Amino acid sequence: MGCDKKNLKSLGPEQQPSPWQNEAQNRNPLNFFLHTAIPWPRRTIMLRGIREEKAEHDMKSSDNGFDPAFIDEWVNIWNSYDLSAVDDLFLADSRVTYFSSEKEGVIKGIEALRDHHRGFGFVEGGKCQPNRLWLEDIHIEDFGQVAIVTAIWCFQRGSSEKVQKGPVTLVYLPTEKGHKIAHANFANY
């Protein structure tokens, strides 16, 4: 896969290594079909439709204005390593908190959060890189003004067939500029 710096923001899951390439990793034929046969963004719509049939709490926009596209935006910054998008997705002040799966203790405040992402190699405007992150088993709970997203994060380094996984919780609060992540909590399996 080539990476065109001009189109960095448009990198989508169709360009990520398939978590279903290795049959031992996941033998669900529906996942394989969706990942290989349906182009992005139709795959997202189809996945959301399947989740809606399977889950009581689905991926539709909630009454408080939370749009599941906010989750896609977060995944996209991880796949583009775009440091400039951190302020767009998180509360950009001292209240934001973040428990990383890579570091002990709480990361508090937007400056510390930017530094944490810089430590992963994020740069202003993003960059082409072979690593891919995606989410599985996404659930959204609407608590009036607050939306809580739980999922399983999956991360694969471009040089490895191994997929790292763990649970994630994202707490979204409404702001004048849409919902922002006020707290994130990651762990490893």
Global pTM reads 0.70
Establish if 45 belongs to a structural domain.
no
Q: At what angle do helices 29-37 and 42-54 cross, to 10 degrees?
A: 150
Per-residue pLDDT of the chain (189 residues; tens, 9 = 90+): 456 554 444 434 444 444 334 433 344 444 443 344 434 433 343 344 434 433 434 445 455 678 899 999 999 999 999 999 999 999 999 999 999 999 999 999 999 999 999 999 999 999 999 999 999 999 999 888 899 999 999 999 999 999 999 999 999 999 998 899 999 999 999
Counting the structural domains of the chain, the total is 1
Q: Within 10 Å of residue 24's Cβ, how many Cβ atoms?
A: 6
Among the listed residues 85, 53, 49, the one whose alpha carbon sits nearest the alpha carbon of residue 68: 49
Sign of CA dihedral 91, 97, 98, 104: positive
Establish if 8 belongs to a structural domain.
no
Establish if 135 belongs to a structural domain.
yes
Residue 134 belongs to domain spanning: 60-186
Establish if 171 belongs to a structural domain.
yes
Establish if 162 belongs to a structural domain.
yes
Establish if 25 belongs to a structural domain.
no
Establish if 50 belongs to a structural domain.
no
Q: Within 10 Å of residue 137's Cβ, how many Cβ atoms?
A: 10
